[in-house]
Amino acid sequence: MIPKRLRSPLYIIFTFLFFLSCQEKDSKIPQQKNTTVEVQKAITTADTFFNNNKLDSAFYYYNKAKFICNPITNADYYVTTLNRMAEIQQMHADYAGSETTLTEVFPFLKYAKKTPQIWNSYVIQSINYLNTYDYNKAILYNQKALELKTEEWRKLIAKNNIAVILMEEGKYKEALSIFLSLISKKELINDTIFQGRALDNIGFCYFKTNDSVKALDFLNKSLHLRKKTNNPFDLGKSYMHFAKFYEKSNPSLAKKYMLLSYEKFSSINNTDEKLSSLKLIITNSTNKELKKYSTIYVNLVDSVFEIRQKAKNQFAKIKYDSKKEKNENLKLKTHKVENELQLERQKNKNIISYIIIVLSLSLILVLYFYLTSRGNREKIEATYKSETRIAKKLHDELANDIYHTMAFAESKNLSLAENKEQLLNNLDIIYLRTRDISKESSPIVTSEKYILHLKEMISGFNTPHINLLVNGLESIPWNEIEKNKKVTIYRVLQELLVNMKKYSNATLVGITFKMTYNNVVITYTDNGKGIDLNTIIFKNGLHNVENRILAIKGIIDIDSAPEKGFKVFIKFPV
C-alpha cells in the first residue's frame, strides 16, 4: 500500500506509464512487508519489561514497535504502543513529553477498532493537561472519553476524573454534585477502593464549602473503608485531608495526621505526595523539627529533579536515535532504488519514454527523501536545543536556589520567627520557579485567546521594582497572522523580558505594537544598564531572537549603549 504522502497526481501518472512500458517486470516490484508478527514480538517483549518495572527497556521496545508498525493497517497496535510510552513518561513526571507522544496517536484513532484503547488515549492525555494546569483541556479529553460507546464503568471513571479536575480548580460545589451521583451507581457500589476515594473527596468538598459536620462524617466513612483495603496511597490521602480539616481547630491532632500521611507516602516512595505532606508539616513546625523537615524537603526536591531530568533525557535520546536510524534506513533504500533503476536504464536504452519516466521518478523520490530527512533533522535538533536550554535553566537557577536554601536551613536559628519566615519564602520560590519552568516548556496558545496569554506572559514580569507598559497590543489583527509568527513573537518577547530581568537592572520597560500598511512593528525599550554593541558577541538569547525574526521574514534592529538603556525594533509582514 502506497503511503498517502506519495499519492500526488504526478506520481500516479508516472507510475501508470511505468507499468505500461514495463509490464513484464511487474513481478519484480517489491511488495510492502507485513510487519504484524514483528510488531507483536516487540510489544510482548516491552510488556514483559513493563510488568517487571524495567521502564527504560520497556520504552525502548515500545518505541521499536512504533517504528515498524503501520499506523493505518495496524492501528490498534500503534495506539496501544504509544499509550504505553506516554504512560511511562507520565510515571517520570514528563507530562510535556507524554503529551507530545500522544499527539502522534490522534490522527490514527479513526482507524482503531478497540474502543478501550481510544478511551485510554483520551484519559492519559487528560492527566497530562491536569498536571500542566490546563484544566479546560483536561476536562475536554474526559468529555471525549464519555462520548465513546464503551462500558458504563469507563464512563463513570471519566466523570470522576472531571470531578477531580473541578476540585483542582476550586469548584468544590460542582465537584461535590458529581461525586454524590457516582457513589450510588451499581457498577461502582461494591468497588471498595473507588467508594473510599469518592467518600474522601466528598468529605473534602464539604470541608471546603464550610459544612464541617458532613465533611467529618464522610471523611470517617472513607477512612473506615480504606483501613480495610490497607492501601498506603489511599490512607495517605485520607490522613492528608484530616490534617487540613483539623489544621486550624486542633493543631496537635492535625500534626499527627500530617506525620501519618508522610509515613504512608514514604512507604511507597510517592515523591509528589511526600513533598505535599512535608510542605504541610513544615508550615506547622518550629525549632529543630522545622529544620529537620525543611532539610528533608530540600534534599528531596533536589534529588527528584535530577532523577526526572535524567529520565526525560534518556527517553528523548531513545526517540532521537530511533528517528536517526529510520532516516538512515530510508537513505539506504533510496540508494538501492536508484541503483536498480540505473541497471534497468542500461538494459532498455532504446525505450526513450521509459528512461524519461525513470529519471523523473528518481528525481521526485530523491527530492522527497532529502526534504523529509532535512525537516526531521531540523525538528530533532530544535527539540534537543530546547531540552538543553531547560536542563541548563534547572542547573543554573533552580539548583542555586535549592543549595542556597539548604545552606540557610543549616546555618540559621530556625526558632526565630524571621528566619522561619525566610525559609518558607525560599521554599515557595523553589516551588514557583519549578512551575515557571514547566509552563515555559508547554505549548503556546495561538487561537483567539492568544492576546490574553501574551498579556499574561508579559504581566508576569511586572514586579514592585519593574514598571512595565504595553501599548497597542489589541490594535493588531492577531487572528489574521499565521500561527508560527504568533509563536515567534511570543518567544521573542519572552526572551527579551527574561534577559531584562536577569541582566539589565531596568525599572521601566515599554513595549509598543503598531500596524503600518501590511507590517506589524514592535518596539521594545528599557532603562537598564544597556550593552556595548561594538564589543558584544551575539550568543544565546539575542542570537535566538535574531534568528527567530529572520525566520518569519522580518527585520530586527538593536540600539543600545552602556548606561543608556536597551532598545529593539522589530518589523515583520502580516
In whole angstroms, what is the distance from residue 129 CA to residue 267 CA? 28
Environment class of residue 23 by beta-carbon count within 10 Å: exposed (0-12), middle (13-18) or buried (19+)? exposed
pLDDT at 28: 44
According to DSSP H, which parts of 32-171 are helical?
Answer: 36-51, 55-68, 75-91, 95-103, 115-131, 135-147, 152-168
Q: What angle do CA 530, 555, 500 make, to 5 degrees?
A: 25
d(C-alpha 11, C-alpha 502), whole Å = 54
Cα(280)–Cα(80) distance, rounded to whole angstroms? 39
Report the pLDDT value the prediction gives residue 305, as an integer from 0 to 100.
66
Return the number of other C-beta atoms located less than 10 Å from residue 240's C-beta. Answer: 23
Asked if 572 and 550 touch (Cβ cutoff 8 Å), the reply is no
32-to-36, 75, 299, 535 alpha-carbon distances in Å: 12, 16, 54, 59
State how far the Cα of 320 lies from the Cα of 5, in Å rounded to an integer.
22
First-last CA distance in the chain? 41
Low pLDDT (below 50) residues in the chain? 1-14, 16-17, 20-31, 382-383, 538-539
User: Tens digit of pLDDT for each residue in 120-149?
Assistant: 999 999 999 998 899 999 999 999 999 999
Q: Which residues contact 122 (CB under 8 A, 6 or more apart)?
A: 141, 142, 144, 145, 148
Listed residue (85, 113, 110) closest to 100, CA to CA: 85
Q: How far apart are CA 545 and CA 531, in angstroms?
A: 16
8-state DSSP, 397: I
Separation between Cα atoms, residue 237 and residue 200, nearest integer Å: 8
Beta bridge partners of 43: none
pLDDT of residue 126: 92
Q: In angstroms, rounded to a whole number, what is the distance separating the alpha carbons of residues 571 and 574?
A: 10
Alpha carbon distance 399, 430 (integer Å):
9
List, in order, residues 6 or more apart from 22 with CB less than 8 Å away. 344, 354
pTM higher than the cut 0.75 = no
Burial status of residue 379 (CB atoms within 10 A of its CB: 0-12, 13-18, 19 or more):
exposed
* List of residues 6+ apart from 43 with CB closer than 8 A: 61, 62, 65, 77, 80, 81
511-554: per-residue pLDDT in tens?
A: 999 999 899 999 999 999 888 877 765 445 677 888 899 999 99
Backbone angles phi, psi at 32, to 5 degrees: -65, 130
Residues 98 and 89: beta-carbon distance below 8 Å:
yes
Q: Which residues are 571's β-sheet partners?
A: 521, 555
Cα–Cα nearest to 182, from 161, 156, 206: 156
- What is the distance of C-alpha 63 from the center of its chain? 18
The neighbour count for residue 213, using CB atoms within 10 Å, is 8
Q: By the 8 A CB rule, do 450 and 478 touch?
A: yes
pLDDT at 519: 94
**Amino acid at residue number 236:** G
What's the pLDDT at 334?
66
Sequence-distant (6+) residues with CB within 8 A of 24 are none
Residue type, 314: Q
User: What phi and psi, each to the nearest 5 degrees, are found at residue 180?
Assistant: -65, -35
Here the cell at position 155 is 464512563
3-state secondary structure of 410: helix
Q: Which residue segments constitute the domains of the chain, with CATH numbers given?
A: 33-147 (1.25.40.10), 285-315+382-443 (no CATH), 447-573 (3.30.565.10)
Residue 62 CA to residue 238 CA, distance in Å, equals 36
What is the SS3 assignment for 29?
coil
Burial 24-52 (b: 16+ CB within 10 A, else e): eeeeeeeeeeebeeebeebbebbeebbee
Maximum pairwise Cα distance, the chain: 98
